Chain A
Amino acid sequence: MDLRRGIRRSGDGKAAGGREVPEVTDTSAPTTSAMLDVRDLHIHFPTDDGLVKAVDGISFTLDRGKTLGIVGESGSGKSVTSLGIMGLHHGTKANITGTIWLDGEELVAASANRVRELRGSKMAMIFQDPLSSLHPYYTVGAQISEAYLIHNKVSKKAAKDHAIDMLRRVGIPNPQTRVDDYPHQFSGGMRQRAMIAMSLSCNPELLIADEPTTALDVTVQAQILDLMADLQQEFGSAVIVITHDLGVVAELADDILVMYAGRMAEYGSSEDIFDRPAHPYAWGLLGSMPRLDRARIERLIPIPGTPPSLIRVPSGCPFHPRCAYAAQTNGRSVNEVPQLRAVGPGHEVACHLSTEEQRRIWGEQAARMQLSPPARHFSQEDA
């Protein structure tokens, strides 16, 4: 197996399983060895104003030791997806269909008790705002050992020792004394370290980090990103990083899923998304961002308009009202929902533009952004 391509879309391992690419009705156990296999996930919320299609057909797989970055704007369904995997929509009106296989076990149909057993031990989550996700009444140590006590038959003394050990591993100085501190005695960066210690305390095989560094200053963010990468190597967990910051994904992710209006816009390795993006929305994201790694451009190229309401998602391609190229598809963008199709090995895009057009337009855009237009797998197709 190609080592570089850790995360594959279901069906990429066709040789092993003989399954065809997107099998939306397939409910059999996955044939791959992936840690997480999400297939055709839909999460809808009925509201008084209509059905909110927060997540509308998401599929991906993730191997042990690999990192998937999910990017998109607010309201694109990133956080709802992660809460869905963690089973945290239980008790809401959420209507979840599709399958989520965690290490061979299906979670959507599983009982709430079973998901609860897995949550905290096999899968864990780091939330965005460490101040509001830590309980102000309990010591940091008590909060870190809570999950450990629930999932393991150990004494309180052993759990506390474990909490001290976890604090040490996430780089908190004097863990023996800090373990008895309350969250308000920690700085922002230390709180996020404590959150990470808490999520890793049961050695989870899947870790979901929802905007893990958004609330932090840039020098502290750099510390936390380094820590997350180090800990992943040490623990070998599969990690999903959810963020709107393309710099953070580039730093951490092996593969990237770009979401727009609850759907998959583009899915590929981080090189695919940054060096040869094929979806106009991905071009828009890259063009609208001022970058420190390139010469300064006089003018940013924003995406016009605003993200759509998830109750009234535009017909056809949900991005078409903001897309400069929708007119070039003979009305297909307006009338027909684009399906994901491969444009390179492991690189898929939901767009009606032909691969040739995508390649040409990205070449022009890259020139405008003063990027060199690399076309590794595009040029392979030419050959």
Chain B
Amino acid sequence: MTAPLSQPSATQATSSDALMTVTGLTKHFPVTRGIIFRHRVGLVRSVDDVSFEVTRGETLGVVGESGCGKTTTARMLTRLIEPTAGQILFDGRDITHLRAGAMRPLRREIQMIFQDPYSSLNPRHTVGSIVGAPWRLQKVKTDKGIKRSVQELLELVGLNPEHYNRYPHEFSGGQRQRIGIARTLALRPKLIVADEPVSALDVSIQAQVINLLDDLQSELGLTYVIIAHDLSVVRHVANRVAVMYLGNLVELASRNDLYERPRHPYTVALLSAVPLPKPAERSAEGQRQRRERVRLTGDVPSPLNPPPACRFHTRCWKAQEVCRTVPPPLEELAPGHHVACHFPENTTPAA
């Protein structure tokens, strides 16, 4: 849990404590027209040249708005979709283009938690068969037989082991998410990629699942990549945070650096947009005073035709000519703090 916060450069060659190293990861989806004569009419640039490292035992949070490519990244890390370009090293081994058969033993080590606990569990299977499925598929013999092992897992994630024979519809949303977590833990993976693990849950249940993920990490020595859009959840769970915008990685820093001294204007805007759970101050007349915030106008542009150079320049209040012509490289502006911006914020030394 206490991974070192200062990380080596994201683009540097694999160091020994990196569990996963991603270099120049890119995914473009062709847009095609026509039934008989299929032809390409466009390219959705979902993820473009993303590089980072995941250190053993840490939690890397990935935040961004819808369409920024965070889910596509997660699916490439777990090799559910094929990257267009780039390289993924897992435990020092290149897994970028491994074929299904060669990938299969690695599936034990990389597992995924899905967002929607309603659609990610087969309604016709019992909890026992859902949680035990990884063992059956991987032909792993468990010490005490599958049933006992499933019950141990259910207990580990805080479910009643006697519910082995129940069906998913008999459980609430939070309990279903626990079932999904139990399933990912079955093969004792090293890396768990969680795509919005708590966003479908109620606040009180969300906290239960966050604490569970935390406990499992310290108990089993897991490494997490947690994708989320909720910035307060990410601050709570992550050691390091990556911010994505329109397929690009715009900022990567330790949790405290990112939340206290965000450098990229987009991160600044994102943080200031979060509604805070404290009532607005009132003036003497009883009128609520609204909090000052950085307002972004407009919507995220389409990834089908992203703006050139810095993709944020269309909404950025600091944009100048250079932002429209030269793509900003991801640079390490402070130890472990990488930013892709020509005019970063908070550059003066800490006061």
Are A218 and B299 in contact (CB-based, < 8 A)? no
* B65 contact from A217, A270, A274, Cβ within 8 A: A217
A286 in the interface (beta carbon within 8 A): yes
Are A299 and B275 in contact (CB-based, < 8 A)? no
* B299 contact from A189, A245, A290, A299, Cβ within 8 A: A189
Are A226 and B203 in contact (CB-based, < 8 A)? no
B348 in the interface (beta carbon within 8 A): no
Chain A, 297-316, CB within 8 A of any chain B CB? 299-304, 306-307
* B280 contact from A220, A250, A296, Cβ within 8 A: A250
Using Cβ atoms and an 8 Å threshold, which residues of chain A touch B255?
A: 296
A221 in the interface (beta carbon within 8 A): yes
How many angstroms from the CA of A300 to the CA of B206 in the assembled complex?
10
A254 in the interface (beta carbon within 8 A): yes
A247 in the interface (beta carbon within 8 A): yes
Question: Chain B, 281-292, contact with A by CB distance < 8 Å: what is the 0/1 string?
Answer: 010011010110
Chain B, 7-38, CB within 8 A of any chain A CB? none
Size of B's binding interface in residues, CB under 8 A: 48
* B277 contact from A73, A247, A296, Cβ within 8 A: A247
Using Cβ atoms and an 8 Å threshold, which residues of chain A touch B299?
A: 187-190, 220
Are B208 and A302 in contact (CB-based, < 8 A)? yes
A74 in the interface (beta carbon within 8 A): yes
* A289 contact from B207, B231, B272, B280, Cβ within 8 A: B207
Are A299 and B214 in contact (CB-based, < 8 A)? yes
Which residue from chain B places its CB closest to the CB of A309 in the assembled complex?
A: B172
Using Cβ atoms and an 8 Å threshold, which residues of chain B touch A289?
A: 203, 207, 232, 277
Are B275 and A285 in contact (CB-based, < 8 A)? no
Q: Contacts A218-B229, A219-B65 given: A247-B276 contact, CB under 8 Å?
A: yes
How many angstroms from the CA of A174 to the CA of B297 in the assembled complex?
15
Which residue from chain B places its CB closest to the CB of A71 in the assembled complex?
A: B203
The smallest C-beta distance from A76 to any residue of chain B, in angstroms, reads: 9
B273 in the interface (beta carbon within 8 A): yes
Q: Contacts A3-B285, A218-B270, A247-B276 given: A288-B204 contact, CB under 8 Å?
A: yes
Are A274 and B174 in contact (CB-based, < 8 A)? no
Using Cβ atoms and an 8 Å threshold, which residues of chain B touch A229?
A: 288, 290
Which residue from chain B places its CB closest to the CB of A301 in the assembled complex?
A: B207
How many angstroms from the CA of A307 to the CA of B175 in the assembled complex?
12
The smallest C-beta distance from B58 to any residue of chain A, in angstroms, reads: 16
A363 in the interface (beta carbon within 8 A): no
Are A221 and B273 in contact (CB-based, < 8 A)? yes
Chain A, 251-289, CB within 8 A of any chain B CB? 251, 253-254, 269-271, 274-275, 284-289
Q: Contacts A220-B299, A299-B214 given: A73-B204 contact, CB under 8 Å?
A: yes
Are B205 and A306 in contact (CB-based, < 8 A)? yes
Which residue from chain B places its CB closest to the CB of A173 in the assembled complex?
A: B298
* A288 contact from B65, B66, B206, B272, Cβ within 8 A: B206
How many angstroms from the CA of A57 to the CA of B232 in the assembled complex?
34
Are A247 and B275 in contact (CB-based, < 8 A)? yes
Are A3 and B204 in contact (CB-based, < 8 A)? no
Which residue from chain A places its CB closest to the CB of B202 in the assembled complex?
A: A73
The smallest C-beta distance from B205 to any residue of chain A, in angstroms, reads: 7
Are B276 and A291 in contact (CB-based, < 8 A)? yes
How many angstroms from the CA of A260 to the CA of B74 in the assembled complex?
36
Question: Chain B, 258-282, contact with A by CB distance < 8 Å: what is the 0/1 string?
Answer: 0100000000011111111111101
Using Cβ atoms and an 8 Å threshold, which residues of chain B touch A187?
A: 299
Q: Contacts A220-B299, A292-B259 given: A250-B277 contact, CB under 8 Å?
A: yes
A-B contact pairs, 14 of them (CB 8 A): A73-B202, A217-B65, A217-B229, A222-B296, A223-B297, A247-B277, A250-B278, A250-B279, A250-B280, A254-B288, A284-B204, A288-B203, A303-B208, A306-B174
